[in-house]
Amino acid sequence: MNASELREAVAQLLVIRASGHATDRQRRYPRWELSNEDLKQLLEAGVGGVILLGGTATELQQRCRTFQRWAGRPLLLCADVEEGVGQRFEGASWLVPPMALGRLHQKAPKRAVQLAEEYGRCCGNQAKRCGLNWVLAPVCDVNSNPDNPVINVRAWGEDPETVGELAGSFQRGLAATGVLGCAKHFPGHGDTAIDSHLELPVLQHSRQRLEALELQPFRTLIKEGVSSVMTAHLLIPSLDQHWPATLSPDVLTSLLRVDLGFNGLIVTDALVMEAISAQHSAGEAAVLAFAAGADLILMPADAIKAIDALCVALRSGRIPMSRLNDSLDRRKAALDSISIASDSASTDDDHRIETADERTLTLKLVQESLDISSSKTSSVAAINGINLIRVDGVLPCPVLPTEAPALSLPKSLGFQPVLCHPLGISPWEDPLNPLAPLALNRLGSGPVFLQLFIRGNPFQGNRSIREPWTEALKQLINANRLFGLVVYGSPYVWEALRDAVPPSIPAAFSPGQMPDAQQQLLQRLLNPASASVSTNEFTD
């Protein structure tokens, strides 16, 4: 093929980042989300995939149509919607995190497996209605490390059997919708205490340990026929002493292709992440990943430089042309396997994204994942107190819109909100001292209703998880100021704190942080008589 044909062929292997919003001014992360002009030029030049984030589900529909029109050829259109399309795009279903079903699996395994399949079907159907054809899920990492700052509740469980069974069930539900799935992050990101968005984690596990734990869910998903596998930015010396998994032929070709027999698409995790970009230029990272065995290059730091470098490597013989042909064939096979439904843009005449059954599933998953250890406040009178909320997510914070139940329901009882955030106010007397007490005088007077939104969050490390909340609870109890405790997100934080709360003080946990979870939990905790009946006690 000539130079122009080669460039267009190589471009098909790139997946670039775009905002779900229509205008450049609305981009939340302009550092990574290309402008419309750049997107149009790259898609017209042959770039074959787009990953989207942000906006509403109806905006997403239009964006997907626009990108397809600009490209003039079939695109891979994907999103990180591990917890439902509503996790990233308002107006769709935002489901509880997978770990919620992992906890349910401990007491009701059949029920958890059934719900995981419904979960996958919901993700796939809504993705398809919005114009997506590729869901970057399920997570197949086994969260064996409670201090994991980036996987945490994104995992389906803490042991390979649970993760394999639930992720496999999710994949069956997703596959039934005709949407591509993606098992990630190979060969397993669950036992890390470092966030690969920020630096390169190193796992010192033996091959025997990897076979027994990390690799098992991926074997299950490969047997289920998952369409793609995403790499992890991890250095595992027992597999490759020099190259991280994303750039390692020993991991991507020898282990994944040969030993595990995976024949689908291998896609890198985002190459803009610091674990890769801090050590390699945009062009060299793309070449190393492709030479190692990756088919698709996700979010290169510079798309043009990545295309240039790949073309040079192919023309020089550094990478054989057969690798390009193989990857293009796998990409075409994946696109050909996608079922294009005639109603892909809507479910009925009013263009709903979420069906009644999917709404029921959303609420059912919340109900079955709540843990209410006390409900002593059914007749709470109005009080003047503090609603102390700790949020460890990125800004803007989608779990706390202006009328979020975590703000509005306590306010109706007289609790005034005080929001603490890594980029804003600190709740501690000395923010630089990890053992500092709460700054009660600065925060205000009256009883304290403490709500902690803490889970593994990319780019946050585990700062909030390591904060001394057990000591803070004791401080509040000793001062006779603790009104109640709610933990949203990490079960590990909840398990560390719940025994410190006296039975007379209301306390509760929800793996989900979204407004639906807040509403159901707080109605039961603050006014149980008005809450719906829970199905949390279901057993097989």
Q: For the domain covering 13-97+119-139+175-188+203-337, report its CATH number.
A: 3.20.20.300
- Chain length of the chain: 540
pLDDT at residue 33 in the model: 93
Is 105 a catalytic site residue? Answer: no
User: In this model, does residue 65 exceed pLDDT 70?
Assistant: yes
Q: What angle do CA 20, 26, 30 make, to 5 degrees?
A: 85
pTM, full prediction: 0.92
Which residue has better confidence, 38 or 194? 38
pLDDT at residue 275 in the model: 86
Rounded CA gap, 139 and 151, in Å?
Answer: 9
User: In this model, does residue 186 exceed pLDDT 60?
Assistant: yes
CATH homologous superfamily for the domain 360-530: Glycosyl hydrolase family 3 (3.40.50.10870)
CATH 3.40.50.10870 region(s) of the chain?
360-530
Of the listed 105, 185, 189, 197, which one is catalytic?
197
User: In this model, does residue 345 exceed pLDDT 80?
Assistant: no
Rounded CA gap, 188 and 235, in Å?
Answer: 11
Specify which residues 454 forms β-bridges with. 489
* Reported confidence tier of residue 346, pLDDT bands at 50, 70, 90: very low
pLDDT at residue 398 in the model: 87
122-131, 204-213, 290-299, 456-465: least confident range? 456-465
pLDDT at residue 397 in the model: 83
Dihedral, 20, 22, 27, 31 alpha carbons, nearest 10 = 80
Phi (first) and psi of residue 189, to 5 degrees: -110, 15
106-110, 192-196, 240-244, 281-285: least confident range? 192-196
* Reported confidence tier of residue 431, pLDDT bands at 50, 70, 90: confident
pLDDT at residue 432 in the model: 80
8-12, 198-202, 345-349: least confident range? 345-349
Is 269 a catalytic site residue? Answer: yes
Instruction: Note whether 141 and 163 are within 8 A (CB).
Output: yes
pLDDT at residue 351 in the model: 64
Rounded CA gap, 135 and 270, in Å?
Answer: 15
pLDDT at residue 199 in the model: 84
pLDDT at residue 373 in the model: 84
290: nearest Cα among 262, 318, 264, 263: 318
User: In this model, does residue 531 exceed pLDDT 50?
Assistant: no
User: In this model, does residue 529 exceed pLDDT 60?
Assistant: no
User: In this model, does residue 197 exceed pLDDT 50?
Assistant: yes
Rounded CA gap, 292 and 457, in Å?
Answer: 29
pLDDT at residue 539 in the model: 43
The HSE-up count of residue 221 (CA atoms within 13 Å, CB side) is 36
User: In this model, does residue 461 exceed pLDDT 90?
Assistant: no
Dihedral, 41, 42, 43, 45 alpha carbons, nearest 10 = 90
User: In this model, does residue 298 exceed pLDDT 80?
Assistant: yes
pLDDT at residue 332 in the model: 97
Rounded CA gap, 440 and 386, in Å?
Answer: 10
Q: Mean pLDDT for the chain?
A: 91
Q: What type of residue is 299? A: M
CATH 3.20.20.300 region(s) of the chain?
13-97+119-139+175-188+203-337
Dihedral, 119, 122, 126, 131 alpha carbons, nearest 10 = 70
User: In this model, does residue 528 exceed pLDDT 80?
Assistant: no
Q: Assign 186 to helix, strand or coil.
A: strand
pLDDT at residue 350 in the model: 45
Of the listed 240, 269, 295, 516, which one is catalytic?
269
Rounded CA gap, 255 and 200, in Å?
Answer: 20
Can you give the C-alpha Rg of the chain in angstroms? 24
User: In this model, does residue 48 exceed pLDDT 50?
Assistant: yes
